[in-house]
A and B are shown apart, each in its own frame.
Chain A
Amino acid sequence: MINFQYVRANSIADAVNLIADDPAAKFVAGGTNLIDLMKMDVEQPTKLIDISRLALDKVEDTAEGGLRIGAMVRNSDLAYHPAVEARYPVLSSAIRAGASQQLRNMASTGGNLLQRTRCAYFYDIALPCNKRTPGSGCGALAGHNRMHAILGTSDACIAVFPSDMCVALALLEARVHVSGPNGARTIAFDAFHRLPGETPQRDNNLEPGEMIVAVELPSAGFASNYSYLKIRDRLSYAFALVSVGVGLEIADGRIKAARLALGGVAHKPWRDTRAEAALAGQAANEAVFRQAADIVLRDARGFGHNNFKIELARRAIIRALTQAANGTPQSQSNKKIA
């Protein structure tokens, strides 16, 4: 860990100005990931700009019937917020599937979108990693890749994005509000995170100096038929091998609309609109769910240790769709798979 300066931003404008003055600086909110990375010398910011006390901690209704979540709303507060529990239970469930209570108490909404991968090669500066040190190679390709991606990979990087919350945000079609040196803009959730391609060092499409100020949810919350199913190596406090977020609109036993997103399988929350389209208008049964799973996984590719994820994802998609269709979402406190 290197020595660094610490400053506290007083406003969004102040934060944006502070980082514009110092490209080697980083924003810090909950610090649940950045501080670890600094201890490992993976991140070496010379200045931390603390944005945790900015007045971005509100959850407010929008005129369109949605919800606007301030970037500094803590994960725990969001998961148990009455409006989220009632209208967007898949988001509440996904947050509760992640990390531990202590981490969720610290972690912020904006910070959750900006988590770095948990790839071991990224974390160990003695090992090659194109994401950490472009051009150094990918240690995971021929190494320990049990946790790694099966979709949207590149020869440069097979890391996965670790968030649970973002899987729910992806299927809910959230919008990310950012502020930066060139003013404010809004980014569709699917356009926020990137696939690795040749530039795995870039996790997302934020421009230098931009900060997340809010995440906005549209009105559709799929509160009746949803599930967040996370499959992991132990029953809590473990990153997903595969996770599946589902939201369905069902009428007369048929699926009117479907949303489907996966975690633990790609460099971003993996939403598949073709699979969603294939579900729409169909009866809610296993054959239909299997077809959707096949569509999601049509281009899936394993790298040795993680080959099992393809079949696991197929089964998890079918199960999560079944749970959602039956109105029996996966509990996050009872670890028995519903």
Chain B
Amino acid sequence: MAPYIGTAVSRVDGVAKVTGAAKYAAEFSAPGLLYASIVSATITKGRITRIDTSAALAVEGVLTVLTHENRPRMADKDEAYKDEVAPDGSPFRPLYDDKIKFNGQPIALVVAERSEIARFAASLVVVEYGAAAYVTDVFRRREAAVPVKAPANPSEALFAPPKPRGDADRALAAAAVRHEGEYYVPIEHHNPMELYAATAIVDPDGKLTVYDKTQGVQNIQHYLCGVFGLKSDDVKVMNPYMGGGFGSGLRPQFEVVLAVLAARALQRSVRVVLTRQQMYALGYRPAMIQRIALGANRDGTLDAISHDAITVTSQYEDFYRQETAWSGLLYTSANAKYAHRLAHLDLATSCDMRAPSAATAVYALEAAMDELAVALKLDPLELRLRCYSDRDQHEDRPYSSKALRECYRQGAEAFGWSRRNPEPRSMREGTDLVGWGMATGVWDAFQAPITVRIVLTANGHAEVACATSDIGTGTYTIMAQVAADMLGLPLDNISIKLGDSSLPQSPVEGGSWIAASVSNGIATTAARIRNELLRLAKQMPGSPLADVGSDDVALADGKLVSKRDSSRAVSIADAMRQGAVERIEQEETTNPAQDEKRAHNTHSAIFAEVKIDEQLGVIRVTRVVSAIAAGRILNTKTATSQILGGVVWGIGMALHEETQIDHTFGRIVNANIAEYHVPVHADIHDIKVIFVDEPDDSNPLGIKGLGEIGIVGVAAAVANAVYHATGKRVRDLPISLDKLLA
């Protein structure tokens, strides 16, 4: 039986998804289900001075209107609201009190027999406010931004500010060639297709089953226990399928609090679904103002890097990532310094969004490198090669693997980079200017502790269970592939259970760590299953495996087989019959090896072609090649889709995406997916994805993960191509055509 790992297996949940059998958080029901509609604040900061729900309550079919005045009891300590990945600060508490902290904040919940009634009645709630002064513009808080501190949450410790090295100021002053520039990325929202929703079902025994759109069912379960003082047995959180998360579902969102609040108030099952507009009151990618200074020698080696960043968060939590560290990591430079300040705005707290910090910071770094290449009169790719680093520059340690050179080589060849005329505005096609740009991408290769349970039955079927999530990336499929290979069974004999808080422990699904974590977890537990089968097989009279050690046997084609002599084998069925067991159940926790001596990262090289109408500034990204080094690729089909999605998103980041806020009113004025632009089909042309070979032994399966790496660097490659085409350097995203007209 050929291995499944590394092949283009179609999604095992594909049929369920296209037939509608796959159910999402807003699709679960229960007898007597009630429907709730959220009333959102229309001011940016202040207090609710009066909230009149009488007209809403008078509507036939309305059961209650919950507000801060009449809600059931909730915890009153911040600690209760701190989830697994909470930043420092005081988390937002929906309907807790009369304070308004951001525009669009939920302030009342109308619960009714039908969703239409709830929505109508919600429009009748009358709110009076005492408004306070507010600031939503990062440029107005630029001077008041405060330096970030190392986070208190131990699981956030890796985001501590990076340590400087050498003397960057002196090196910059002495540099033969310098480039310094300021780059800006606006606030962006995730805009997943599936609306945030929670269905809280009151079971007959009074316990709760909560279907919630989330990237971490156990994170939500712990959170709900804290907020509502529940025992962990009293609430189960489920999320079998998810229509896109991209980081927006890492932390608990207010829909789940509101659904549980209403279910507890009425002792009835309740569903809350956000509107598309209300989705813009959730977290977002923080806007980022960055200053990058590069000092180089004439030969194109770097001597100094300085990266200053200002990112955006709320007034009540300090969300940030290690934004500045990517600059110091990626290229060889003896001197580096960083400064990262937070601008506290009257908005909801920012949050992780695909490749958080790298998507924005590497954009700035790679645009700056392109400008340095121009200053040095050096090919941009050649500059990257001259600055190439075989060692992690922060810790001066080797990488577990780094095939970035090969990404550059294969990507450049597939793109035809050698035919590039370095002169801006030199390449034309009719009325179009043609530009070629490139950039590097980098992300971490994480692995987290995880527990996997496998139940093998005598008929050769296995159920693999873990409380992880499949947020649309293909986790079901890779879990089935890995289990099938590790257990030596056909793919169809594997069933996957996930998205259920009662299953064995999993971290939240993010940071590209689930593939490595859960796959190696499956391998560990599968080895336990194999050992148990071997124990049974050895008991057989005249067992062909009697003297075979546990390391010398593998599961393949439904059999235990000696690795040294494939003629010596015992079928799974025979072994289990021998032991008179119908099922073998094993549950194991897999902790990643502590490997502090090496750095663990994924890399990419992106090459982009743009064609721009010279007079009108209309931009088409006609070709992109993305060459990825991300360890072992489990499924070439879902992996390619991941990278394609990342490239599309990167094109959107470069050309389209921007959450527009009217700072006079503090309201988002494009809170819908007609006016908040992401690329449409017409904007996407030829994208080629290359996975370069990158053997890695950081974990037994050699997996690094690739949810994030696909977007990193893409915006820079496009922006650099725009410069090459036009000779105009646009340093604030998105590059809308008006910025090219001047």
Q: Which of A17-25, A86-94, A188-196, A308-316 contacts B (4 or more CB under 8 A)?
A: A308-316
Query: Is A3 interfacial (CB-CB < 8 Å)?
Result: yes
Query: Is B679 interfacial (CB-CB < 8 Å)?
Result: yes
Query: Is A27 interfacial (CB-CB < 8 Å)?
Result: no
Residue of B nearest to A237 (CB): B680
Contact in complex: B432, A234 (CB < 8 Å): no
Contact in complex: A308, B741 (CB < 8 Å): yes
| Subset of 22 A-B contacts with CB under 8 Å | A1-B120, A1-B123, A120-B662, A124-B667, A126-B42, A126-B667, A127-B665, A127-B669, A142-B664, A231-B616, A231-B737, A233-B677, A233-B736, A234-B655, A234-B682, A234-B683, A237-B674, A241-B737, A312-B741, A315-B616, A335-B618, A335-B682
Contact in complex: A120, B616 (CB < 8 Å): no
Q: Residues of A at under 8 Å CB distance from B? A: 1-3, 40-41, 118, 120-121, 124, 126-127, 139, 142-144, 146, 231, 233-238, 241, 308, 311-312, 315-316, 318-319, 335-337
CB neighbors of A among B674-712 (8 A): 674-675, 677, 679-683
Contact among A3, A143, A146 for B664, CB-based, below 8 A:
A143
Query: Is B600 interfacial (CB-CB < 8 Å)?
Result: no
Interface of B is mostly: loop
Contact in complex: B116, A337 (CB < 8 Å): no
Contact among B123, B618, B669, B679 for A2, CB-based, below 8 A:
B123
Contact among A3, A126, A235 for B683, CB-based, below 8 A:
A235
Contact among A139, A231, A311 for B662, CB-based, below 8 A:
A139
Q: Which residues of A contact B665 (CB under 8 A)?
A: 126-127, 139, 143
Contact in complex: A235, B736 (CB < 8 Å): no
Complexed CA–CA distance, A143 and B136 (Å): 14
Residue of B nearest to A118 (CB): B675
Complexed CA–CA distance, A124 and B667 (Å): 9
Residue of B nearest to A318 (CB): B615
Q: Residues of B at under 8 Å CB distance from A? A: 42, 116, 119-120, 123, 277, 431-432, 611, 613, 615-618, 620, 655-656, 660, 662, 664-665, 667, 669-670, 674-675, 677, 679-683, 736-738, 741-742
Contact among A121, A127, A235 for B680, CB-based, below 8 A:
A235
Complexed CA–CA distance, A124 and B681 (Å): 28
Given contact pairs A231-B618, A315-B615, A315-B616, A144 touches B660 in the complex (Cβ within 8 A): yes
**Shortest CB distance B391–A (Å):** 42
Known contacts A234-B680, A234-B682, A336-B432; 12 further A-B pairs (Cβ under 8 A): A2-B120, A120-B675, A121-B669, A124-B667, A127-B662, A127-B669, A231-B616, A236-B680, A238-B680, A308-B742, A335-B682, A336-B613
Contact among B42, B116, B617 for A1, CB-based, below 8 A:
B116
Given contact pairs A231-B618, A234-B682, A319-B615, A308 touches B675 in the complex (Cβ within 8 A): no
Complexed CA–CA distance, A189 and B610 (Å): 40
Which of A3, A231, A336 has the most chain B CB atoms inside 10 A of its CB?
Answer: A336
Which of B123, B277, B682, B683 has the most chain A CB atoms inside 10 A of its CB?
Answer: B682
Residue of B nearest to A315 (CB): B615
Contact in complex: A41, B662 (CB < 8 Å): no
Contact in complex: B669, A124 (CB < 8 Å): yes
Q: Which residues of A contact B656 (CB under 8 A)?
A: 233-234
Contact among B120, B615, B737 for A233, CB-based, below 8 A:
B737
Contact in complex: A1, B431 (CB < 8 Å): no
**Shortest CB distance B693–A (Å):** 36
Given contact pairs A120-B669, A127-B665, A319 touches B737 in the complex (Cβ within 8 A): no
**Shortest CB distance A182–B (Å):** 35
Given contact pairs A236-B681, A236-B682, A336 touches B616 in the complex (Cβ within 8 A): no
Contact among A1, A241, A308, A318 for B119, CB-based, below 8 A:
A1
Q: Which residues of A contact B660 (CB under 8 A)?
A: 120, 144
Which of B613, B667, B683, B738 has the most chain A CB atoms inside 10 A of its CB?
Answer: B738
Residue of A nearest to B673 (CB): A237
**Shortest CB distance B52–A (Å):** 17
Contact in complex: B431, A337 (CB < 8 Å): yes
Complexed CA–CA distance, A235 and B742 (Å): 21
Contact in complex: A234, B677 (CB < 8 Å): yes
Q: Which residues of B contact A124 (CB under 8 A)?
A: 667, 669
Complexed CA–CA distance, A201 and B679 (Å): 33
Q: Which residues of A contact B42 (CB under 8 A)?
A: 126
Residue of A nearest to B684 (CB): A235
**Shortest CB distance B558–A (Å):** 49
Complexed CA–CA distance, A142 and B613 (Å): 31
Complexed CA–CA distance, A332 and B570 (Å): 65
Residue of B nearest to A147 (CB): B675
Complexed CA–CA distance, A235 and B736 (Å): 12
Q: Which residues of A contact B431 (CB under 8 A)?
A: 337
Residue of B nearest to A142 (CB): B664
Complexed CA–CA distance, A234 and B678 (Å): 8
**Shortest CB distance A50–B (Å):** 18
